[in-house]
Structure 1
Amino acid sequence: MITVGVLCEGQTEENMVREFLYPELLQLGIVLVPTILLTRTAAGGPTGRGGVSKWSKIEKDLQNRLRSSPHWAAVTTLIDYYGLPQDSPGMADRPSAAARQKAEHVEKRMAEHIGNPRFIPYLVLHETEAWVFAAAEQLAYWTDDPALAQKVRSMAAAAGGPEEVNEKPETAPSKRLLKLHPEYIKTFHGPAAVTDLGLAGLRAACPHFSAWIGKLTALADE
């Protein structure tokens, strides 16, 4: 077994790791250890968990995990490309290209900035709710809303695929799901639907996600 630390943006991402990715990758000899990004540590007050406000906070958490867990094979991220701080490496000089190429550019710059071969950056296009667009039938089951499946499939197809459901505030994946089904619960319905879809199904629908999983599974072969 090899261990990979996963720095998650918030509770939704942590749930995706614990409920979906952990059991899938465990079968391949990889143990995922999710932790939520620390956003603040106020004197005499609680430590904030979740959310991203500026790059320095992400970098601090990453460096702490890399330094404090030398026995981990790698440290990766599960952070939304949508809403990533504008001061993050690579954001200012993103190419005029498709969303995946932009995200890959930022991931490359993040890796160069951290400068540790055990760091494997991953930015979700555009947030983990995009994965739910690949699990339309499963979402309809968990929400008890049969008509929802066709609506979700049509929306994903119109965008060019689940990972292309875009990053604008009014059209982000989570906003669209809430509009389609106001009772949608991010921390429950999303992980449940994606878990039922399975790793192979999600990889087939989401190439950027699939490339990340390929990097993680390759660690078991080293």
Structure 2
Amino acid sequence: MRTVGVLCEGQTEEIMVKEFLGPALYEMAGIWLEPTILLTRTAAGGTGRGGVSKWSKIEKDLRHRLNSTHWAAVTTLLDYYGLPQDSPGMSDRPAGAPRQDVEHVEQRMAEHIGHPRFLPYLVLHETETWVFAAAEQLGEWLDDDALAGELKRQADAEGGPEAVNNGPDTAPSKRLLRLCPRYIKTQDGPVAVGDLGLSALRNACPHFDAWIGKLVALAHVR
């Protein structure tokens, strides 16, 4: 068994790891995922959990985790949408497709951290992207066929779930709440994605698929 630390942006990502990704990867390849939520400072000076405002906060958490030999690798589960503009690679992104942009930023993050056990991953464009891939399952869960049909239509129109873009009014989470105000991101999303399953999500989301492939490969590292 290989244990991988996952630095999560917030509670939704943590739940996705605990209830969906972790069990699926352990069954598939013996990879055990241990999620932790990014630590932040509150306005009152205390410690909070979740949210990303500066790259320095992400880097501090990553380096702290990489100092531990407990994990075979440390990865991230952070949204590309809303990633701090001072993050490595954000200022010189190529004028290409979204996947090219996000892979450029991930590469620069890896180079900046400079640790062989660091495997950066940014979700194109939010974890709610995965819910667009699980449109049918969400519709069944919420008993709303019209919602399922509209989510699928929008994803197809953009060129797939991972192409649902990162505009302030058109990001996956914004669209979901506009279409379904009763949607609860920490409950409904993980249920729908879990019902979809890992194999189907990999088929629908190529960038996600590549990340899972890297995690699975750790099972064969000596």
| Same topology, TM > 0.5 | yes
Which residue in the other structure is 2:7 paired with? 7
Q: CA deviation at 1:141?
A: 1.2
Q: TM-score, normalised by structure 1?
A: 0.97
Which residue in the other structure is 2:34 paired with? 33
Deviations 1:54-74 (A, max 9, x none): 00000000000011x213110
Q: How does 1:1-222 map to 2 (within 5 A)?
A: 1-27=1-27, 28-40=29-41, 46-67=46-67, 69-222=68-221
Secondary structure in structure 2 of the residue aligned to 1:169: coil
Q: TM-score, normalised by structure 2?
A: 0.97
Question: Which whole-Å CA distance do the structure 1 matches of 2:191 and 2:149 have between them?
Answer: 18
Question: Which whole-Å CA distance do the structure 2 matches of 1:154 and 1:42 have between them?
Answer: 41
Give the counterpart letter for 1:51 in structure 2.
Answer: G
Question: Which whole-Å CA distance do the structure 1 matches of 2:111 and 2:74 have between them?
Answer: 14
Deviations 1:153-190 (A, max 9, x none): 10100011000000011000001011111100000111
Structure 1 segments, 4+ long, off by >3 Å, are none
Question: Which whole-Å CA distance do the structure 2 matches of 1:8 and 1:70 have between them?
Answer: 19
Q: CA deviation at 1:41?
A: 7.0
Q: CA deviation at 1:46?
A: 3.2
Q: CA deviation at 1:147?
A: 1.5
Larger mean CA deviation between 144-153 and 116-125 belongs to 144-153
Q: CA RMSD in A?
A: 1.1
Question: Which whole-Å CA distance do the structure 1 matches of 2:213 and 2:162 have between them?
Answer: 17
Calculate percent identity across the aligned residue pairs: 75
Question: Which whole-Å CA distance do the structure 2 matches of 1:187 and 1:174 have between them?
Answer: 12
Question: Which whole-Å CA distance do the structure 1 matches of 2:192 and 2:110 have between them?
Answer: 31
Secondary structure in structure 2 of the residue aligned to 1:4: strand
Secondary structure in structure 1 of the residue aligned to 2:133: coil
Secondary structure in structure 1 of the residue aligned to 2:92: coil
Question: Which whole-Å CA distance do the structure 2 matches of 1:109 and 1:89 have between them?
Answer: 5
Over 3 Å counting, the alpha-carbon distance change for 1:177 and 1:42 in structure 2 is: closer
Give the counterpart letter for 1:37 in structure 2.
Answer: L
Give the counterpart letter for 1:15 in structure 2.
Answer: I
Question: Which whole-Å CA distance do the structure 1 matches of 2:211 and 2:161 have between them?
Answer: 16
Structure 2: gaps (5+ residues): none
Deviations 1:21-50 (A, max 9, x none): 01101112010000000012789x531110
Question: Which whole-Å CA distance do the structure 2 matches of 1:71 and 1:184 have between them?
Answer: 37
